[in-house]
Structure 1
Amino acid sequence: MVTSSEIDASGVAALWPRPLPDDDKYTRGVLGVVAGSDAYPGAAVLSVTGASRAGAGMVRYVGPRRAQDLVLAARPETVVHEDADAVDRLPRVHAWVVGSGVSDAPGQDAVIGAVWAGGLPCVVDAGALEDCARARHSGARATPAEKILLTPHEGELVRALAAIRHDVTADDVRADRAGHARLLAETTRSTVLLKGSRTIVAAPGGASWELPVATPWLAVAGSGDVLAGVAGALLAAGLDAAEAGVCAAWAHAQAGALAAGDDASGPDGRGGPITASDIASALPRVIAALRR
């Protein structure tokens, strides 16, 4: 298990999965992604790309045709599936990422419900957070707390708590980010990654971890979609939710700093503007540096 003293390069390096000579694409971890929509197809591309760049052996994408086409154009190694087919028989994977960019998509919602019922490790983001909070709060917990990672930003945390009748404001969350992350973790029996300049990972039982302050250049559209993909790849490789959350957030922050400029780590905004795609592109260099 990750400890607070390990949130640095050496600690992350000790946990990050490394391929072995006898590995193949299946043993390295197969990730399923239910993301994107007709309204937000780019979320699918970014989640899949984050997972691929973080080392997933294979990524299977489930979503609408427009998003499938964009995913294949950006990442032709991805295997794509239709919603209707996936509901009847979920693709064989080791873990899932669900919710990034999902909006008013009954077909994807049905797949997400099947994913939760299946009990595999799962990252839950954006459009799936409130439904997941309600389901787990009511006792539907096929996936154990140490294998499910909820990844809200501040506003999503407020809405997820409201969905289970904890009425808090954004100001309340800002005043005690760790406390409210732990509240969602306890009431849903899930591990929670609260995104922000200082990301917090909280597990049921009171354990929590604070990441170093990240470059503010990370605050761009799609950044969280990439992060969800990275965390999903780590879950698929066998890490537990807290380990995957801490390692993904650390590598994501390092990739943002590298993309923005080598001196762009920390809160002062040195460096220059980046996009979510730039973050994903920098991930292999961050991971390669861990090997050294």
Structure 2
Amino acid sequence: MDRTAPMKIALITLGCKTNQSDAASLAAELTAQGHRVVPSPQEAEATIIHTCTVTQKTDYQSRQLIRRTAARNPGGRIIVTGCYAQVSPESLQAIAGVDFVVGLGERRRIPELLLSGPRSGAERVLSSPVGNQRIFEEWRLPRYSDRTRAFLKVQDGCDSFCSYCIVPHARGRNRSLSPERVLSQARDLSAQGYKEVVLTGIHLGTWGEDLRPPQSLLTLLKALAGEKLGFRLRLSSIEPAEFTPALVDYLARSSAVCPHLHIPLQSGDDRILERMNRNYSASSYADLVNALSRAIPGVALGADVIGG
């Protein structure tokens, strides 16, 4: 039997800032529908788990988290979503205590699933291909418990298909939020009093390439800075090849963007980079780091490196 009363719901999130933004947007939607978001699965009637699948370790962590949640609240409903749920729903469906597995393309159905009666077998898995999606799916703007920093998701998906990476298969192709909607959401965050806004996306540096006419991250940063919204901007992660001379020059001159940049390296060996299908060399990465250090005194740089 379906229920109609609002529920107490816990959300647990693994993985990247984009996953965190997705979970926060879902929490905002559920709150708007009358549900109450609680901090712990033990006090919840239902728990929604946003999984990560970027490595075997995160797959394992996702499975362990699901089992631990089921053990601590055996009477609660569990809905599993996120990237792992998109690429391998059957393996998650098999875990005891899981009521529904919801792929990324079906996340808008989660509110109805919370109130629906039990289902069995294949009816417990809701998944659809994301590879054909070409439109950025906009959700309700979240409210964050940290009143200082907010995340603004402006892009999803990736067209790069690095040889080791499952993300394009989980998230689909590059899709950008329109500049008008980015500015509108940024104004809303400013009105809420946030002092820092983190621009997030699966492949943030490709923002705007799918729009018509095509645009660039640089044009978006200039538009946001021109609004004078009273917060500073932080970039979540930018690929090395996407730092054009114009972008480096703007970052050096702008006071609107935090002097902290995360630039994935993955390997310092050109042979490995080529096999990874990365579009840069170790020397070009070093040149970029040196150029940024010269242009932006005191810049803080972070990187990802794959070992083994």
TM-score, normalised by the number of residues in structure 2: 0.30
Larger helix share, 1 or 2: 1
Larger Rg: 2
* Structure with the larger RCO, 1 or 2 (CA within 8 Å, 6+ apart): 1
Larger strand share, 1 or 2: 2
TM-score, normalised by the number of residues in structure 1: 0.31
